[in-house]
Amino acid sequence: MKIAFVGKGGSGKTTLSSLFIRHLATTGAPVVAVDADINQHLGVALGLTEAEAAALPAMGARLPLIKDYLRGANPRITSVETMIKTTPPGEGSRLLRVREDNPVYDACARPVRLDGGAVRLLATGPFTDADLGVACYHSKTAAVELCLNHLVDGRDEYVVVDMTAGSDSFASGLFTRFDITFLVAEPTRKGVSVYRQYKEYARDYGVVLKVVGNKVQGQDDLDFLRAEAGDDLLVTVGHSDWVRAMEKGRPPRYEHLEDVNRRALRLLHTAVDATYGLRNWERYTRQMVHFHLKNAQSWGNERTGADLAAQIDPAFVLGEGVVAPV
């Protein structure tokens, strides 16, 4: 199951992603955590020291390796240079699985030990100014998008992405790559404006979008979010002393997280699992082709000097049953 946490900077994406990852770890489920936020804080939120977090390999810097591995023996993708962030898999491509070991995880993932068990953590690496505009070619999230487009995840396997709701995720289609998107919103006008923008983009793509209210203090906050988000509001989280203790560098054990917040995380988990039945790999594949053609036309063909539409394998549908070469 692929899960994104998005929202305004400071809303609590990283905090809630990290708590949800800790929750999943206690259930024993395999988890791949991905830090794709502008401010790379997920490692520290999962308990790494600043030095350990800074030493995480940047996926952005390993893009050639990732592309070369995923390309495999796909005859339609003739070189790493012509493989862009939206290049879809086809016959001969290598796929990724949550539980396996593979060269991409070897190069980019590091294990993080949590109370429940270890998870794999990957990080895009810090964003620069060039990453924040449309910046298609240099997009820091390119590696994440490629990995998600080549990933076949089953039920009870989780990929959790802490992500910025930036223009590059809309231009590329990254925002459509998830079973569910949790939009973290504080009960403020700015907080919900990101929700409205996201909903607008999401509408035509069948994106399952749920609002998670954060730093909600009382009935008035709750009423505000309810009025703004309606049925999209899934749950709210209040101030957490556990999170504060964590921020002070004194990480408590997960079991000491406030009951009410543990319950909220279980609710997120239930909401994630409920989307399994809505999965449609055919649509998932069609959407990656759609965004690939869009990117090919708007910059990719010109940049690579190739006709990138030719990379599309019309007969290929990603799915749990697809057997890829090793």
Write out the residues near Mg ion by the rule CB under 5 A: 13-14, 37, 39, 41
Does residue 10 interact with ligand ADP by CB under 6 A?
A: yes
CB of 163 to ligand ADP, least distance (A): 10
Is 73 within 8 Å of 92 (Cβ atoms)? yes
- Residue 186 touches which member of Mg ion, ligand ADP, none, C-beta under 5-8 Å by kind: none
Does residue 22 interact with ligand ADP by CB under 6 A?
A: no
Q: Which stretch binds ligand ADP (CB under 6 A): 7-15, 53-61, 95-103, 299-307?
A: 7-15
Q: How far apart are CA 322 and CA 319, in angstroms?
A: 5
- Cβ closer to ligand ADP: 124 or 295? 124
Q: Classify the C-alpha dihedral 98-119-263-214 as positive or negative.
A: negative
- Residue 10 touches which member of ligand ADP, Mg ion, none, C-beta under 5-8 Å by kind: ligand ADP
- Cβ closer to ligand ADP: 88 or 191? 191
- Residue 263 touches which member of ligand ADP, Mg ion, none, C-beta under 5-8 Å by kind: none
**Strands, E, within the chain: which ranges?**
2-7, 31-36, 110-113, 118-123, 158-163, 180-185, 209-214, 233-237
- Cβ closer to ligand ADP: 7 or 88? 7
| Out of 109, 180, 194, 237, the residue judged to bind ligand ADP by CB under 6 A | 237
Does residue 196 interact with ligand ADP by CB under 6 A?
A: no
* Angle at 271 (CA atoms; ends 185, 33), nearest 5 degrees: 70
| Out of 1, 2, 7, 182, the residue judged to bind ligand ADP by CB under 6 A | 7
End-to-end Cα distance, the chain: 23
- Cβ closer to ligand ADP: 15 or 124? 15
Q: Report 247-286 residues binding ligand ADP (CB under 6 A).
A: 247
List the one residue out of 177, 107, 111 whose CA is nearest residue 141.
Answer: 177
Q: Report 41-70 residues binding ligand ADP (CB under 6 A).
A: 41
Does residue 15 interact with ligand ADP by CB under 6 A?
A: yes
The distance from CA 240 to its chain's CA centroid, rounded to whole angstroms, is 24
Is 70 within 8 Å of 89 (Cβ atoms)? yes
C-alpha distances in Å from residue 317, one per residue of 89, 144, 152, 220, 232: 9, 20, 11, 47, 30
Residues that bind ligand ADP (CB under 6 A): 7, 9-15, 37, 39, 41, 214-215, 237, 239-240, 243-244, 247
